[in-house]
Amino acid sequence: MQTLAQLKNGELVGCKRLQLSEGLTQFPKEVYTLADTLEVLDLSDNHLSELPDDLTSLVNLKILFASNNQFEHVPDVLGRMPKLEMIGFKHNRIRTVSKHCLPPQTRWLILTDNQIQELPDSIGRLTRLEKLALAGNALTKLPDSFGGLTNLGLLRISANRLNAFPDVVLSLPKLAWCAFSGNPFCADRDEYAEFVTVASDDLQLHHVLGQGASGLISQATWRRNAHNFAAQVAVKVFKGEVTSDGYPQDELDACLTVGRHDNLVKPLAHIHEPDCAALVMALIPSDYYNLGQPPSLTTCTRDTFTKGQQFSAAQAQHIIEQMRDLVAHLESREVSHGDLYAHNVLINADGHILFGDFGAASKYHNLNAEQKAGIRAIERRALAYFEEDILGLVVS
Question: What is the H or E stretch that residue 375 is in?
Answer: helix 369-391
Domain boundary among 236, 251, 282: 282
Do 267 and 297 sit in the same domain of this protein?
Answer: no
Lowest pLDDT segment from 1-5, 97-101, 335-339: 1-5
Residue range 375-394: average pLDDT? 98
Q: Is residue 118 part of a domain?
A: no
- Cβ proximity of 101 and 123 under 8 Å: no
Q: For residues 304 and 290, give the distance between their C-alpha atoms in angstroms, rounded to a whole number.
A: 11
Does some domain include residue 299? yes
Residue 157 included in any domain: no
pTM over 0.85: yes
> What CATH number is attached to the domain comprising 250?
3.30.200.20
pLDDT tops 90 at residue 244:
no
Domain termination site, one of 219, 254, 282: 282
Is 13 within a domain?
A: no
Is 62 a member of any domain?
no
Amino acid 272: pLDDT: 85
Tell me, yes or no, whether 230 and 255 share the same domain: yes
Q: Rounded distance, CA 217 to CA 214, Å? A: 10
Assign 350 to helix, strand or coil: coil
Size of the chain, expressed as the number of residues it contains:
396
Q: Are residues 212 and 298 in the same domain?
A: no
278 and 293 in a common domain? no
Average pLDDT over residues 138-142: 98
**DSSP class of 30:** G
Residues 88-108 pLDDT 10s: 999 999 999 999 999 999 999
Q: Dihedral angle at the C-alpha atoms of 367, 369, 370, 375, nearest 10 degrees? A: 60
Provide the pLDDT for residue 233: 96
Picking from 282, 297, 314, the residue at the C-terminal end of a domain is: 282
Q: For residue 129, is it left (φ>0), alpha (ψ between -120 and 50) or beta?
A: beta
- Please give the residue range of the domain that contains residue 222: 200-282
For residue 193, pLDDT over 90 is answered with no
365 and 274, same domain (yes or no) = no
On the question of pLDDT at 214 being above 80, the answer is no
Is it the case that residue 172 has pLDDT exceeding 90?
Answer: yes
What's the CATH number where 371 sits?
A: 1.10.510.10
C-alpha dist (Å) from residue 321 to 317, 326, 331, 351 = 6, 9, 15, 11
Instruction: Please give the Cα distance from 170 to 378 (Å, whole number).
Output: 8
Geometric angle at alpha carbon 128, from 125 and 133, rounded to 5°: 90
pLDDT at 238 over 90: no
Q: Number of folded domains in the chain?
A: 2
9 Cβ neighbours under 8 A, 6+ residues apart? none
Nearest Cα to Cα of residue 236 among 258, 218, 261, 249: 218
The whole-chain average pLDDT of the chain stands at 95
Report yes or no on 19 lying in a domain: no
pLDDT score recorded for residue 204: 96
Q: How confident is the model at residue 280 (pLDDT cuts 50, 70, 90)?
A: very high
β 335-336/267-273 pair status: unpaired
Helical ranges in 163-259 per DSSP H:
248-258
User: Is the alpha carbon torsion for 373, 376, 382, 385 positive or negative?
Assistant: negative
Percentage of the residues of the chain whose pLDDT score is greater than 70: 100
The reported pLDDT for the residue numbered 324 is 98
Q: Residues 56-79: pLDDT tens digits?
A: 999 999 999 999 999 999 999 999
- With respect to residue 369, please indicate whether it lies within any of the assigned structural domains: yes
236 is an annotated ligand-binding site residue: yes
Question: Are 379 and 297 within one domain?
Answer: yes
pLDDT mean over 368-383: 98
327 and 349 co-located in one domain: yes
SS3 call for 356: coil
**Number of H-type helices and E-type strands within the chain:** 4, 18
The string of pLDDT tens digits covering residues 23-54 is 999 999 999 999 999 999 999 999 999 999 99
2 burial via Cβ count (<10 Å: 0-12, 13-18, 19+): middle
d(CA 201, CA 342): 34
CA atoms within 13 A on the CB side of 322: 20
User: Where is 388: in which H helix or E strand?
Assistant: helix 369-391
Report the pLDDT value the prediction gives residue 207, as an integer from 0 to 100. Answer: 93
pLDDT at 396 over 80: no
Looking at the chain, the whole-number percentage of residues with pLDDT higher than 90 is 88
Is 251 contained in some domain? Answer: yes
